[in-house]
Amino acid sequence: MTTFDNSQFSPKTVPSDRSIERIAITDITPTEFAQRYKQRGVPVILTGLLKPEWDWHLDYLCEMLGDRTFLLRHYGKQRYQQDKREWTSIGSGVKTQSQPFHEYAVLLQNGTAQAEDIYLAKCSLQETPLAETEAIATIKTELDHLGFQKAASGLNLWVGPGGHVECLHYDAMDGTLMQLHGSKRIVLFPPHQTFNLYPYPFYAHLRYGLKLRSWFSRVYPDRPDYQAFPRLQQAMQHKYDITLNPGEVLYIPAGWWHEVTALGNEMVCSVNRFWRIYPTWRAIFFWGRWRAYLGSVCAMPNVLFQLGQALLSRDRQQKIKEILQML
């Protein structure tokens, strides 16, 4: 892979004064939430849902998770210097390694996780003591009250070093991202900018299976290369740039592009959950969902081939775990 010179691109070339509304959970009724945000697919930051004492700092996570093993993504420090058009893996498709949480905590403390960009991403909270905490019980009750009743996934844990970037992508479901420790910068673009954000084509899955995803963008919003991606200039006019603080929850409607950066140098921790899109017409008319499905269909021959290889390998369990994590 070649690295490219990005010195010619100034960060944030187009100033953005757009902001996402912040609203206290006590100031909105379920009907208002549905009318103003959910039905229209508009993002919003909910405040006051989590108590300040529910701080999931590293010592607390070690106490709760101890020697439980998690599949860690090893992104590698060179990744974000590379031209994304040359990437052959992304998100859950990157190299992974199973490790007990307390070992990962050491990597976070001694700077290795930051230097090598190792991320505990989208790991199930189910069957961990964290799932039984007051914080999670409250989140579930409050979101249920607000109208989030049809979950499309369980609760997922995201723990990583400051500076880590989950690069620009959209999800085919509604999402809620809850900040449990530290802050995150989130850059968002509305779904109608998809064409201008140069997603990987859905047929890339034919070659790369689930290692590359059609719902990821090939552009760097902070280092826009307008020569290679001229339409990005239009997308930049629609950019939102927010900070999600501890205790806040961001509602990310399906199709909204988001790039998530952990701020500071310390460990940053969040929990997210995906939800079925409501109302159904929003799901039906959301083209991004259909292109994601098309991509998954294209990936099937490759996935079946990998499954076959995994079954024949000595390291069967680990390989199957890795494939399941990508699904």
Ligand X SMILES: O=C(O)CCC(=O)C(=O)O
For ligand X, the binding residues (CB under 6 A) are 158, 166, 171, 175, 177, 252, 258, 260, 270, 272
Q: Which is nearer to ligand X, 148 or 158 (CB)?
A: 158
Judged on CB neighbours under 10 Å (0-12, 13-18, 19+), 13 is middle
Give the amino acid at 139. I
Token pair in block for residue 97: 């390694």
In the bound state with ligand X, the residue whose beta carbon lies nearer, of 89 and 270, is 270
Min. distance of Cβ 133 from ligand X in angstroms?
Answer: 19
Q: For ligand X, give the closer residue by CB, 270 or 306.
A: 270
Shortest spacing between CB 304 and ligand X, in angstroms: 27
State in angstroms the smallest separation of the CB of 260 from ligand X.
4
Instruction: Tell me, rounded to whole angstroms, the distance of Cα 207 from its chain centroid.
Output: 23
Q: What angle do CA 316, 79, 120 make, to 5 degrees?
A: 50
Shortest Å, Cβ 317 to ligand X: 27
197 or 310: CB nearest ligand X: 197
What secondary structure letter does DSSP report for 201? Answer: P
Helix axes 58-65, 101-109, angle to 10 degrees: 160
Kindly report the backbone phi and psi dihedral angles of residue 300, in degrees, each rounded to the nearest multiple of 5, phi listed first.
-55, -50
Report the residue number, 166 or 322, with the smaller CB distance to ligand X.
Answer: 166
What minimum distance in Å lies between the beta carbon of 15 and ligand X? 25
Q: How far is the CB of 171 from ligand X (least distance, A)?
A: 5
Q: Give 158 or 208: the residue with its C-beta nearer to ligand X.
A: 158
Pick between residue 175 and residue 295 the one whose CB is nearest to ligand X: 175
Do 87 and 150 form a contact (C-beta atoms < 8 A)? no
Amino acid at 227: Q
Q: How far is the CB of 231 from ligand X (least distance, A)?
A: 23
- What burial class does residue 57 get, using C-beta atoms within 10 Å of its C-beta: 0-12 exposed, 13-18 middle, 19+ buried? middle
Q: Closest Cα partner for 164 from 123, 122, 118, 124?
A: 118
Give, to the nearest 10 degrees, the angle between helix 287-312 and helix 316-326. 180
